Amino acid sequence: MAAFVFLVYGALTGDNPFLNLVLVIAIYAVVGPFLYLISAHALHVRSNSVRHGTVSLGYPIRRASGGRKRTFHVSELVDAKPEIGRGGYIGATFLLSDGTRFFIEQSAFEGRGLEIMNKLCRLVGKSYESEVKAILVQGRRYRFHIARLRGVRNHRLVFAQRIRTETGNAIRELAPDDVQSWETVSTPYAGPTYLVTMMDGTWFLITEAEAKSVGFPDLPGWAGKGLDKDSGKPMSLHSSEA
């Protein structure tokens, strides 16, 4: 290391072409492997997407035949099991017609995970959202995150701590426009609560006591986001149909 520093110093303070050449070679020898690893990683990492019925994954799945593929067609789906995977990741285990079985995380689809997982599971007669919610409401092993409220600012909920979202962002405030719905649920670990579903599929709970302390859900812009407990439809839509 001392010799390397000496070479750098000599190249920067002198006009010795030999030292300059040695410095370039030394830097390449040190930095080159890292650049190779970064470029190789960039080539292998691909985003997860669904186009024209083909699901593309950022990683290969081992087929029952022994090969590996990054894609499958929705017509191959024969079963799905919404569940909480290893490490507490929300998602579903899918079964293909050739016997291939694999797990996909909801967060793999960059903010569209809830929408896509709902559609994939619906193809085989499973209700992804309701089954995952039931697991997390029961809270036997995994639970919904409970967000603590600090107050309200311009109709936006302000949290005591940041909330990590499905898109990877950490938010401290939440506007009604960023919320898909809220509904009342009762959990054995938090009692009566409001379950909030954000547009990107992020879920969290607000205790009934804290919600009432800030006027939720009667705040402007929030009331119309509520789901009817019996029908599961937006309260405004349910009321108009009645």
CATH number of the domain within which 80 lies: 2.30.29
Tell me whether residue 132 is in a domain: yes
Residue type, 77: L
Per the structure, the complete domain to which residue 118 belongs is given by 52-138
**Cβ atoms < 10 Å from Cβ of 67:** 10
Both 128 and 183 in one domain: the answer is no
Beta strands in the chain (DSSP E): 49-51, 54-62, 68-73, 77-84, 90-96, 101-105, 149-153, 156-164, 170-174, 179-187, 191-198, 203-207
Say whether pLDDT at 1 is over 80.
no
pLDDT, mean of residues 72-90: 95
- Mean residue pLDDT of the chain comes to 84
Residue 196, pLDDT score:
98
Q: How far apart are CA 200 and CA 223, in angstroms?
A: 20
126 plus 155 within the same structural domain: no
- Model confidence at 4: pLDDT above 50: no
Of 36-50, 53-67, 101-115, least confident by mean pLDDT is 36-50
Total domains in the chain come to 2
Q: Given this model, what pLDDT does residue 21 score?
A: 54
Give the pLDDT of residue 23.
52
pLDDT at 111: 86
CATH label of the domain that carries residue 184: 2.40.50
114 and 181: one domain?
Answer: no
Statement: residue 93 has pLDDT above 80: yes
* Helix (H) / strand (E) containing 10: helix 2-13
Token reading at 103: 């797990």
Q: Which residues sit opposite 101 in a β-bridge?
A: 95
HSE-CB for 98 with a 13 A CA cutoff? 16
User: Does residue 169 share a domain with residue 94?
Assistant: no
The answer, yes or no, to whether residue 113 has pLDDT greater than 50, is yes
108 & 132 share domain = yes
The model's pLDDT over 176-224, given as tens digits with 9 standing for 90+, comes to: 999 999 999 999 999 999 999 999 999 999 999 999 999 999 999 999 9
- Looking at the fold, whether 100 and 123 belong to one and the same domain comes out as yes
Quote the pTM value. 0.75
- Do 74 and 94 belong to one domain? yes
Domain boundary among 117, 138, 159: 138
